[in-house]
Every structure is written in structure tokens, then in C-alpha cells.
Structure 1
């Protein structure tokens, strides 16, 4: 069940990011993409941040 929850949340986050990407244009799109890439790199470099965010998302879903 926990694996399904991770997949479900990841899918919704991806859909949200893609939707915002389609809506934004020009300079704002570039800044937004840089922000998303920076967050992903941060999550890869610091696994404890990923664990904290995962616990927070699980608590919000419950």
C-alpha cells in the first residue's frame, strides 16, 4: 500500500508540474524549471530531506 501511495503522489506531482509548465511562458518558465531542477537535486543529495517530505505527504493524505 505504501508503494502505491508513493506512485500515486508522484503521478499527481508530475501532472501538476507539467500543467504549470504548459501554463507559464518565457522568463517565468525558465525560472520555474530551474527551481524544480534545484529541488530534485536537493532531494538526491540529501536523503533525509526526502524522508521528511515523504512523511509530510503521507500525513497530508491520511
Structure 2
């Protein structure tokens, strides 16, 4: 079964480190203060590994995916 995977940011936990945007620029940009903006919550199959790595690298554990 090929389930749709999604990405989300816990805006309360996030401190705007910007690491997620560096690791996953295809899906995450930064606003003018350095906080992430998820361009597309759906994680394509080809980016699922990258999404998992970005989630694991988040220093505040604010990035989440079910990918």
C-alpha cells in the first residue's frame, strides 16, 4: 500500500534554527525571521528518506512526518 506521507512543523517548539530548510529545501523554505514554511505538506516518494533525516536532525524536535 502506497500511503500519502505528510510533513508538519510544531510552531510552538520551533526556534527557527533553519536546519530543516537546509536539509529539505525542496519542501521547506524560511520566512524573514528564519522560521520554516512548509511549501507542500505531501512528501513525494523520492524525498521520504530526506524528510526522515530532516526530522531526526531537528534540534527542537519540531519537525514531524509520518514518512
Q: Specify the TM-score bucket, using the shorter chain as the normaliser.
A: under 0.3
TM-score, normalised with respect to structure 1: 0.26
Give the structure-2-normalised TM-score: 0.25
Compare relative contact order (CA 8 Å, sep 6+) and give the higher one, 1 or 2.
2
Larger radius of gyration: 1
